[in-house]
């Protein structure tokens, strides 16, 4: 901190665990950061932009959205009702056996999955049972919630699936170029998104083997790419065991 015009070191001690949220305009994140996070993409489609503009206009025009403080107060009240309780995931070992262990990224992804299960159980603590030690017990409903929320991010981390924005960009590329070679600037001229988004999506598609580079960049001459015949994997939930496998019928 700065005090009397001079910088001072301040020690801040905070009880954990903590949750950290960060945002970026990059479409690809440094691998050492990516495998420590749950990556969630924003909806870049024009329809979503229209909804955001409409909602923003409603606030400024004095219409809908002026009751945001009521929403905040309700969230605060709900948080104050929650008790800080230890949460046990009784089926954690079954999940560990069922998840594909061939990718080393699973070592960091698996705790994310279990933490999401715990979070669901904590939020639904009024509907959950306790063990003899007073610990909250997560159940099948919590795994169902965690699997629904993490199917996409986990598919990218463990299954090599591309992001939804990149998948939509791929379909546009096929419509624009088909089997014809193209460069990143060529795609940028067609696309309404930003230059960084286009270049990032091309890099993501190249890493996934959905486009191939036929000519490298030379000076001011852009590199050339061509679409491959491969198709992206849309079965995002396949990387996480189905509920029936984690909770087999007795």
pLDDT of residue 205: 92
Q: Average pLDDT over the chain, rounded to whole?
A: 87
Confidence band of 238 (pLDDT split at 50, 70, 90): confident
Average pLDDT over residues 146-152: 91
Regarding predicted confidence, which is higher, 26 or 205? 205
Listing DSSP states for 171-194 in one string gives HHHHHHTTTS-B-HHHHHHH-SS-
Per the structure block, which two tokens stand in for 177? Answer: 């170029």
* pLDDT of 66 over the 60 cut: no
Q: What pLDDT band is residue 65 in, cutting at 50, 70 and 90?
A: low
**Weakest-pLDDT range from 35-39, 54-58, 97-101:** 35-39
Matching CATH number, 164-227, of 1.20.1740.10, 3.30.160.100, 3.30.230.70, 1.10.10.10? 1.10.10.10
pLDDT value at 167 more than 60: yes
- Amino acid 239: pLDDT: 82
The pLDDT of 10-31, averaged and rounded, is 80
Structural domain boundaries in the chain: 80-160, 164-227
Predicted local confidence at residue 211, as pLDDT: 93
Q: What is the mean pLDDT of residues 153-157?
A: 83
Please tell me the predicted confidence (pLDDT) of residue 67. Answer: 67
The proportion of the chain whose per-residue pLDDT surpasses 70, expressed as a percent, equals 95
Residue 62, judged by CB atoms within 10 A of its CB (0-12, 13-18, 19+), counts as exposed
Omega prior to 55 cis, within 30 of 0:
no
pLDDT value for 154: 86
- Rounded Cα distance, 163 and 166, in Å: 5
Q: Which residue reads 């992804």 in tokens? A: 109
Q: So what's the pLDDT on residue 128?
A: 97
Which one-letter DSSP state was computed for residue 37?
A: S
Confidence check: pLDDT of 130 > 90 = yes
More confident residue, 30 or 226: 226
């Amino acid at each position: 901190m700065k005090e009397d015009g001079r910088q001072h070191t301040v020690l801040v001690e905070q009880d954990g665990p903590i949750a950290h949220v960060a945002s970026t305009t990059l479409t690809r994140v440094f691998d050492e950061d990516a495998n420590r996070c749950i990556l969630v993409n924003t909806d870049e489609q024009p329809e979503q932009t229209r909804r955001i503009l409409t909602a923003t206009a409603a606030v400024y025009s004095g219409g809908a959205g002026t009751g945001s403080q009521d929403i905040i107060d309700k969230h605060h009240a709900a948080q104050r009702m929650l008790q800080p309780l230890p949460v046990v995931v009784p089926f954690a070992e079954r999940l560990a056996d069922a998840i594909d262990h061939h990718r080393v990224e699973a070592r960091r992804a698996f705790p994310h999955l279990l933490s999401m299960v715990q979070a669901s159980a904590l939020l639904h603590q009024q509907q959950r049972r306790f063990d003899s030690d007073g610990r909250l017990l997560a159940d099948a409903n919590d795994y169902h919630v965690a699997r629904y929320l993490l199917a996409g991010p986990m598919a990218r981390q463990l299954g090599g699936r591309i992001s939804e924005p990149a998948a939509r960009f791929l379909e546009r590329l096929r419509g624009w170029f088909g089997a014809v070679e193209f460069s990143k600037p060529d795609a940028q001229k067609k696309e309404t998104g930003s230059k960084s988004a286009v270049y990032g999506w091309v890099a993501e598609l190249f890493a996934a083997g959905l486009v191939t580079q036929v000519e490298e960049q030379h000076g001011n001459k852009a590199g050339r790419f061509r679409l491959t015949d491969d198709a992206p994997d849309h079965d995002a939930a396949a990387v996480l065991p189905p509920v029936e496998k984690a909770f087999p019928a007795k």
